[in-house]
Amino acid sequence: MFARDDNGDELNAEFSVVADGERLSLVMESAGGRGAGPQPRNNQYNSALELLLARLRDRQAVVVSGVVASTRAARLPEEERSIVRVPINLADERDIEQVRKQITRASGKVGLKDGTAKEGNNQKRIELRLEVPGYGPDDAERLEAELAAPHSAGALPRAEELLRGLTGETISTPTGKENRILKVGDGAVLVGTDRSPEGQPVPLDDIQHGLDVLASRGTLQVSVEELGHRSTFVGAVLANLPHVSRDPSSATLTLDSSGAEPDATDVHYGELDVQAQVKVRTEQGRLRRLLANGRESAPCALCGDEFPVQFLVAAHVKKRAACTDAERRKLRDIAMLACSFGCDVLYEAGWVTVDETGCIRTVELDGLPAGSLTLRMHQLAGRRCGAYREASEPYFAWHRTTTFLGKLAG
C-alpha cells in the first residue's frame, strides 16, 4: 500500500498493516536501490513514515515496540534489532518529525559492529508494534486503508470555529447532562454545568482531536480511551454537527458525507460547503447578519430595542441540540435576534417565553426584589415578539413546554 498525503499526492514508500498476535503492526518496506519505475525504491520513506505516525497520533496510538525486520536482521536476537525500547504514546508527541528521527536513527545502528561510529542505512524494513484504540487484529485492512487515505482537511470545522458558533448554547450529553458553552479563548472552551455554572475550561485540543479522528476515520466511539476524560462532552459537541449520527447502543458517532444538499435559499448553510460536502454551522456573525437582512443594526425580537448587530445574538427559539437536521435548516423559523443586554439570557434560561398568540409571558414576578431585573421583566410582559409567526409557532411551543419556568394559564 502507498499512502497519499493530504493534497492527494501518492508518496513513493510502501507500507502495510498486519496482525501481530493481539496487536497490529505497521511495516515499512526498505528504501534504496532501483525501483519499478524511474524513481529509486521507496525514496519518500521518511516523509511517508512521518505522515503515518501523524495519522496514528490522530487515533491515539501507542508504539509499544519496534524492530528492524529485514532478512539480514532476522538472524539477530530481537534485543539487538530493537529500535523502540520504551513505548511511545503518540498522542503526547507534538513533534512527529523527532519521533520519526528517533526511530530511523535507531534502525541505522542495528547490525553495526561494536565500536562502529558511523551510522548505517536508516531506511531499513521495520516493524512497529501498535496499540490503537478501537482496532484489533481483525482490523488490519481497515487501518491500512485509513492510514493511506488523505486526511479530510477542511471537511469539518476547526474546534475553535465550531465552538464559537455554539457559544451561548446548551448541548446535552447522551446521559442528559446539560453543558452550556460560555466562552472560547486562550486554547480552551469554558463550559458551564449544573455543578459548575461559572464554567470549567476544556482544552480545544480535546475537541480538535475528536474532529480529526472523525474526519479521517468517518467514525469514532465516545469513550475515555478514544476521547479522554471529557469524552461525553466532546461527543456531544461532535454530535451537534449536521450529518453526524449517533448510535446510542454503542456510543458511536458516524459521519455521513453523502447528506442531502441544503436548500439553496437557506443561508444558514449557504456558502458553507467544504471538502467531502459536510455542512457545518456558520459563526454567529453570519447568522446575525442573515436575521438582520444585512443591516448594521436591528431590533431585538423580545424587547424591540434596536442595537448594532454585534450586540445581538442569533438565539434559537428551540434549543438547537433538540432540533432535527431538517429543522436546523429553517434558520428564519428556529432563530431570532435577541439582545445581549438580558433578553437572550432570560429566554435561554426560561424566565420568559412566547405564547400561542405571539405575546411574551414571564415567570411570576411576585416575590422578585425590586430592581433592574423586575423592571426588565415588566417591560417584556405582554409585548408582541417580533419573531413570532405561524411557521415559528411549533418551536416556540417547544420552548413553552420544555424550558419555560412559569405556568401558562389555560
User: What Å distances lie between residue 223 and 198, 231, 235, 332, 394, CA to CA?
Assistant: 26, 6, 9, 36, 35
Cα angle 364, 366, 367; round to 5 = 115
Task: Supply the pTM of this predicted model.
Answer: 0.44
Q: Output the pLDDT for position 191.
A: 93
Task: Please write the tens of the pLDDT for every residue from 142-172.
Answer: 889 889 987 554 456 778 878 877 788 788 8
Packing angle between helix 45-58 and helix 96-109, nearest 10 degrees?
Answer: 130
Task: Please write the tens of the pLDDT for every residue from 40-95.
Answer: 888 999 999 999 999 898 777 899 999 999 888 888 998 899 999 999 999 888 88
**Cα torsion angle, 260, 261, 262, 268, sign:** positive
Tens of each residue's pLDDT in the chain, 410 residues: 999 887 778 899 999 999 988 889 999 999 986 655 567 888 999 999 999 999 898 777 899 999 999 888 888 998 899 999 999 999 888 889 999 999 999 999 887 766 454 556 889 999 999 998 878 888 899 889 889 987 554 456 778 878 877 788 788 877 778 888 999 888 899 999 888 889 999 999 999 888 888 877 778 888 888 888 889 999 988 887 766 777 777 788 887 654 333 333 333 333 333 322 233 333 455 566 667 776 788 999 999 999 998 888 888 899 876 777 667 667 778 889 999 888 999 998 899 999 999 999 999 887 777 777 888 889 999 999 999 999 999 999 999 998 898 877 54
Q: Output the pLDDT for position 105.
A: 93
Q: Output the pLDDT for position 304.
A: 94
Domain-wise residue ranges, the chain:
2-148, 152-282, 291-410
Q: Output the pLDDT for position 119.
A: 59
Cell of 208: 480538535
Nearest to 216 by CA among 142, 269, 166: 142
How far apart, in whole angstroms, are the C-alpha atoms of residue 59 and residue 302?
46
Task: Sheet with 252-255: list strands edge to edge.
Answer: 219-221, 252-255, 244-247
The DSSP bridge partners found for residue 255 are 244
